Copies of this chain bind each other. A is one copy, B any other.
């Protein structure tokens, strides 16, 4: 079993949670995909296993609370999940408004600008985590000439 999974397994045990087939399955999917996935996509990736969609949701909810996964909501209010910082590299997303593709960027302006420290000093707010999503057009859609957004 992958090292990351071992760590998480230990963590769950230490907090009084069981290491179950459903949880292991969900985590396996998350550790083998780099893009943030919707609950339903994770479930679909598990079609061979006999895992109920609600168990996927329950697992994700627990993992989120334990900071094992983070939830990102890009665009139309659908939640997507990916491994949290500490279980993979800190990164942000480039979301193409045309094709919907999601790319990662590892450059983080929040860190380089030491924004956290500045905010703490100025407002007393202690930042623990952040989410940065960048929207626009990916190279190929831009080449294809996609541009105007539609309304109505």
Contacts and interface: CB of A to CB of B under 8 A. Distances in A.
Interface residues of A, number: 46
A96 B125 contact: yes
Contact of A110 (B65, B109, B149, B150): B109
Given A77-B79, A103-B123, A124-B138, A150 B65 contact: yes
Contacts of A133: 130-132
A3 B28 CA distance: 54
B127 A94 contact: yes
A47 interface: no
Interface of A: 15, 62, 65-67, 71, 73, 77-79, 94, 96-97, 103, 105, 107, 109-110, 112-113, 115-116, 118-119, 123-139, 142, 149-152
Given A15-B151, A124-B142, 19 more contacts: A62-B151, A65-B149, A66-B151, A67-B149, A77-B77, A77-B78, A94-B127, A109-B109, A109-B115, A112-B113, A115-B134, A125-B136, A125-B139, A126-B136, A127-B135, A130-B132, A131-B132, A131-B135, A132-B133
